[in-house]
Amino acid sequence: MSSRWAAISVPMKPEALDDVSVALQRLVGRAFAVETRPRSAEGDWPVTAHAYVAPGERQEAARHEVLRALAMLRVAGDGMVGAPTERFVDAEALRTSWRAYYGPLAVGRRLLIVPAWLDRPRQPHDRIPIILDSAMAFGTGHHPTTRLALAALETALQPGDVVADVGTGSGVLAIAAAKLGASRVYAFDRDPEAGPTAAANLRRNGVADRIELSIPSSTLAAPEPAALVVANIVASVHVKLMPDYAGLLRPAGRLLLGGVINARVDEVVAAAKPFGFRPQAIAADEEWRLLDFTEASVPDSIGSAEAATGDRGQ
């Protein structure tokens, strides 16, 4: 039995990342990272996903599950998924080596991501610091999807808003919402491994009293409606969760959906339409998109039924 982590890397075209991410999250939780680089030439692989399997009795079986899933995706991907490679990494090296690549990062007009292992900026500071330690290289706040979500959150949130953060991970978006003036934040994640990391980040930022963590969460439900729902996941999960987003929001609320590859924007917009969500803006960073919706007072499905029956509430 190996005492080292198994690191499995798979190159792909951006269009395949959504399906690969869903498969990896199911198998390894949040123990995977995505590396992107500019598309330099035809046939190049601009995206690489790295999945990490912890040492232990289940490592061998888990490795085979990951490799089998990637092989199936490669066959079904019609040239979109490349051949995976595997190596073994010492736990301490995996835990610390990636930190060298992450420094303070200014996001939007007011936010600053500060890795917890660095000295904190002295106050006063012209940006709001979010002190973050993801425990591993997952959820550092530096990924383009997180940058997009943070910038959109900064613009959309009004002081006193109730916010729901779906797929909170390291807690970065929930913390940002609290520091930007949310009165209450409800943060959800189905991965139990996210719980200790998120809770520690809430404490180190001094916002634990305003954020209610639901980890692992089997359902998405909050004791009060949210003015703003933010979810930085992937397109296919957004499509499935659209009824839950509608249930979390108050009338005329705002919905920010990150983690959407450009090729799947139309799919997410189409899934949102029956629930009365109207796209207001689309922000872009590399291959990624952030969709900004507002909720109309009457969903399309209800409006169509009323038009058909002539019932307009008179």
pLDDT for 186-196, tens place per residue?
Answer: 999 988 878 88
- pLDDT of residue 38 exceeding 70, the answer is no
- Domains of the chain plus CATH, in order, are 5-95 (3.30.70.120), 130-300 (3.40.50.150)
Choose among 274, 278, 269: nearest CA to 296.
278
User: Of 25-39, 104-118, 169-183, 249-263, which gets the smallest average pLDDT?
Assistant: 25-39
Mean pLDDT in residue range 37-56: 77
- pLDDT of residue 283 exceeding 90, the answer is yes
Give the Cα separation of 110 and 152 in Å (integer): 12
Angle at 172 between CA 167 and CA 177, to 5 degrees: 95
Mean pLDDT in residue range 28-36: 77
Percent of the residues in the chain that have a pLDDT greater than 90, as a whole number = 51
Instruction: Give Cα 10 distance to the centre of its chain.
Output: 20
Instruction: List % helix, strand, coil for the chain (3-state, nearest 5).
Output: 35, 30, 35
Between 78 and 231, the higher pLDDT residue: 231
- pLDDT of residue 289 exceeding 90, the answer is yes
Determine phi and psi for 280, rounding to 5 degrees: -100, -30
Structure tokens at 152: 């959109």
Q: Is the pTM of this model over 0.85?
A: no
